[in-house]
Structure 1
């Protein structure tokens, strides 16, 4: 076997992805129109993310990240905001968010790697901008474990008020961190079990709703009542803006591309499946809830309307089962969120945007980015000092940033593409992403001032880090042509 310095570099480029005897892989890095061999790209398979996830695993993680039980937490407020038309609001937000989901599907086919929107923006728009977008997006991945820890505290403290609340926060973060260290396949399998339990609880919830409607001689919402008429139709949109975050989760699975078998085929399919399951799930649950309680003003606390509904239709026994489902939802969402966040940090560490030795490290046995998992766990402990409102606003900023730039990247690709401008191509790569982007801009306009201010401060810190790490933009961030790497 010949050593690298005995090979013709031009021949190496033409034989990209050639496997050598030791199992190592070669990658050709394109920079400034020159091809050179990067030593850090030569790695043993045990030192890079391994493809183990199948479609069912990815879908389970996406649904868990989406946290289906959020539909219960938001029903009361959403019903008030939408004037009792929550199912219609979910239809609107599902259609709108589907365009962004399709944009993710297009980009993951081009860049099936762990970096998600950070990778897309870096390679399509600008390397520096990609880092800032990745920085802003990361705040959502970081905030979700905080939110889940806070929700666990709220749920469990209501059942066991004598136990200090901080124990539930620390306990959840420690458990999900340990489980994630043992590898993504274990996390995915656990999520499949937990998600299945949640769906069983929901089926029981719907059955009890239907029984109560029939027993109380109420009527199911018909097609004419589903959408408000006249000018009242526009009351749906504030509700849709509130409910848009229910669909966060389909985007997170793009960070699993490097650990998924046939990612160019599996991830886009999983994105549409997760989005569709979410849309059907949210509409179905709220349809029966709204049919039973068309006016949520009957509840003393509309923010806690769902537990009151659970008690009304099934008594204390079902309320206990319902609470268990909510806790399982929090656990699964926290597990999935940490998986996604650790993979995004790994991608940035591997690219030397963050210190490679720490953030780009993979455990040789578990094939998981252990330092990143521990780092995210430590940051999530800030939930001990934050409230639910602030933590939720962080998710808004990160998610809307990611959604915006994914659509912008697809639109940019449309104008760069040399393919014939057929109607189907134009709709899928220009009109659809524009519709998705307009809806996200509308969501931005509904954010409160505190959220925007915090997002601005967080983004400014990212800019300062970028200035320091690149010597006032004199050093260009590494840019890898992923299409040349083995997929």
Structure 2
């Protein structure tokens, strides 16, 4: 195995400076940034798109339909259209930075090299809050869903099973993860097709008074600026996960300069179409409804609608699919993304060096994978049944790091390299910054308090590095 730390930067390069010119090979490109090729390059564009789709969960509206429906007064499909438009600006920023810096680490690497190493550390530290807690949240949500179907099995038991299954799969290598992603995506799309098919048939038959209309997309009399902003806040959070594609930059078959960015945008658009179709059909089956009353009715809204569409069997099928998609499929890719972020930060000596270890045969960051598993298991057992507390903390890190990503695009392309592409390098990141900033500003108070405490801790770690003489420079000598 090669050394975990980066090699000296090429002559004339400075830490955080502009990206080096494209190399003839993937390995050459990575060496130009000061790293050795350690992870296995085997992923295609299709693999990355599937990975992103699984991360965002094509059937995610199943679990939160009632909440989104209430917040949008029935215009739930419009909510996801607004979310797509909003998140496209962030996806474009990811695309531009992934082309400039085709290395693992996601926003940590982009902010670190696009702005400076200290901002990069804070960006990486911020999104760690999201990445470390996301698998835990997914396990707890799935355990709660399956417990409602099989009450004899305690929730903590489901958490243990999910952690073990996903850890073994990720240990086997990124190709195993990619193969399972295809299987999970196929299963989710089959269930989704069943719901849409039976749902459209139910609408055509007029079940529950249903009829075809564009009300789920637009009800002019109810549309207000406040409702649009509220829908925007909900929708933006529904799309979190597409950013995980960038953590696999060093595992694509070529340099990743174009594939990663292209996959990010494609996956975001595809999942948005699926979100809009399924929520439009579901909303048609509850005509005249603008709110589900009570927590039970809100949480089970989609499953109850599935029963209207196809009967009890479809309700159970949809509920089980949602639980497994979250507990295994989504958690699997979340664990993979988190381990790559830990690997990247440890490789730069921002985190303990043992996390940068790569298995000599499977070419996976095995210790980082195991670390994520242990954290998820401990937190999952501790927070079992406390979905609300976890969800309030998860989103802060991602949103804060997105802000730094947009700043990095402007600094790297416009200020440092004098880009004349105003649309992509000035206007898009500016709009993205405003959208994400507004959502973050209006986030749950617990999320802001917990997130700020996490950032303060990160600042103290950064100060410790500087005071101990270790520094945070991305260019470290072996």
TM-score bin (small chain): 0.7 to 0.9
Between the two proteins, the alignment pairs up a number of residues equal to 451
Q: Which residue of 1 aligns with 2:404?
A: 405
Work out the CA distance in 2 between the residues paired with 1:101 and 1:120.
13
Partner of 1:6: none
- Gap change, CA 1:15 and 1:87, over 3 Å in 2: closer
From 450, 454, 466, give the equivalent of 2:462.
Answer: 466
Counterparts in 2 of 1:97-112, with a 5 A limit?
97-112=87-102
Match of 1:51 in 2: 41
Gaps of 5+ in 1: 1-8, 30-37, 482-487
Offset at 1:118?
A: 0.4
- Which position in structure 1 is the counterpart of 2:362? 366
Alpha-carbon distance in 1 for matches of 2:28, 2:270: 40
* Aligned-residue offset at 1:224: 10
Q: Which residue of 2 aligns with 1:478?
A: 473
The answer to whether the 8 A contact 1:410-1:433 is kept is yes
Deviation at 1:92, TM superposition (A): 1.1
User: Paired residue for 1:124?
Assistant: 114
Q: Structure 1: how far apart are the matches of 2:189 and 2:335?
A: 22
The structure-2 alpha-carbon separation of the partners of 1:470 and 1:420, relative to structure 1 and needing over 3 Å to count, comes to closer
User: What is the distance in 2 between the residues matched to 1:428 and 1:372?
Assistant: 34
- The verdict on how the C-alpha distance between 1:313 and 1:407 changes in structure 2, with shifts beyond 3 A counting, is same
The 1:348/1:11 distance shift into structure 2, 3 A limit, reads: closer
* Cα distance per residue 1:18-46 (max 9 Å; x no partner): 99xxx9999467xxxxxxxx8xx5x5x5x
Rounded Cα–Cα distance in structure 1 between residues aligned with 2:67 and 2:463: 43
1:189 pairs with 2:182 = no
Moved more, 75-84 or 342-351: 75-84
Larger Rg computed on CA atoms: 1
Match of 1:3 in 2: none
Q: Offset of 1:103 from its aligned partner?
A: 0.6
Please give the alpha-carbon distance, in whole angstroms, between the structure 1 residues aligned to 2:229 and 2:21: 54
Are the aligned partners of 2:292 and 2:301 in contact in 1 as well (CA < 8 Å)? no
Q: Which of the residues 422, 426, 429 maps onto 1:430?
A: 426
* Residue in 2 that maps onto 1:446: 442
CA spacing shift, 1:180–1:127, aligned 2, 3 Å: same
**How far did 1:417 drift?**
4.8
CA offsets per residue over residues 453-483 of structure 1, 9 Å max, x none? 10011111111222222226x54323249xx
Contact 1:67 1:246 in 2 (8 A): no
Select 2:341's aligned residue among 336, 340, 344.
344
Q: What per-residue deviation string (whole Å, max 9, x for no partner) do you get for residues 227-274 of structure 1?
A: 534863541320221121221121110000000122112111101111
Contact 1:219 1:291 (8 Å CA) reproduced: yes
- The answer to whether the 8 Å contact 1:253/1:271 transfers is yes
TM-score normalised to structure 1 length: 0.86
Q: How does 1:131-146 map to 2 (within 5 A)?
A: 131-146=121-136
Please report the TM-score for the alignment, with normalisation by the length of structure 2: 0.88
The whole-number CA distance in structure 2 between the counterparts of 1:286 and 1:25 is: 43
The secondary structure found in structure 1 opposite 2:224 is helix
Q: Does 1:173 align with 2:163?
A: yes
Cα deviation for residue 446 of structure 1 reads 2.3
Relative to structure 1, the CA distance from residue 354 to residue 267 in structure 2 (aligned partners, 3 Å threshold; closer, same or farther) is same
1:212-361 alignment, distance < 5 Å: 212-216=202-206, 218-222=210-214, 226-229=218-221, 232=224, 234-262=226-254, 263-294=256-287, 295=289, 297=291, 301-330=297-326, 331-356=328-353, 358-361=354-357
